[in-house]
Amino acid sequence: MRVKSLQLSGFRAFGGRVDVDLDADAVIVVGGNGQGKTSLFDGLLWGLTGAIPRFGSESSVLSLYAETDQARAVVDLETNDGQECQVVRTFDGKTTSLGLRVGGQQRRGPNAATALLEFLWPDALFAPDPQLALCEALERGIYLQQDLVTEFLAANDDHDRFTAVSELVGAGSGDADYESTGGLGIGQEDPPGLGEIGGPFELGGHGDEIALGVA
């Protein structure tokens, strides 16, 4: 599955409208501090999940300089077999609205939320909180948070690094996990891989996989 484009307006650093073409095998975002790099990725996460967990309130997504008094994200997706999906999410300071178009069919509200989960990751529907499950999966497996990556790089020993990686891939962080997998194996001649920790994260049942394991 590929994110083809992202449109943001009134969202965090973007008071006006910005359109970003992401239809490529690899996209590198370069810019100075305060130019909106983080807001760009936050906009993608919010558009797909309706949440940015590190924020205490959804009101944080609305730009102080929003030209239309609302935050808006439009995400265009395409599966490997050519099926297209457009997600439109807005927030006016009080209420969030979600619209979805899949295969020419328009859906709104709760029906759109359910259809989006079915398109992205059907297994999330079996979680106690499907939206939270999707958000955590995207954060840990695709949109890696800077603080967790930094925690791994700055870790003092193997156990701390194992804990950081476990948090990144959503596999827990207990001592029992560390012992059962043999740790990270840093400094060993044949360090064990972490495939058993991550495994593949399947999106939408379209045969697309994003590897979470760290070798």
The 10s digit of each residue's pLDDT in 66-106 is 999 999 999 999 998 999 999 999 999 999 999 999 988 99
State if pTM tops 0.85. Answer: no
Domain that residue 59 falls in = 2-121
Mean pLDDT, the chain, rounded, equals 77
Same domain, 116 and 157: no
Same domain, 7 and 66: yes
Higher pLDDT, 212 or 76: 76
One-letter amino acid at 85 equals C
pLDDT of residue 57: 79
pLDDT in tens, 2-56: 999 999 999 999 999 999 999 998 888 898 888 999 899 999 999 999 998 888 7
Distance CA 92, CA 177 (A): 44
pLDDT at 190 exceeding the cut of 80: no
Same domain, 180 and 111: no
Tell me which H or E stretch contains 106.
Answer: strand 105-108
CB 1 within 8 A of CB 78: yes
Distance CA 197, CA 165 (A): 9
pLDDT of residue 197: 29
Same domain, 49 and 93: yes
Same domain, 103 and 161: no
How many structural domains compose the chain? 2
Same domain, 99 and 164: no
Same domain, 156 and 100: no
Classify residue 92 as left (phi > 0), alpha (psi -120 to 50) or beta: alpha
Pick from 55, 87, 121: which residue ends a domain? 121
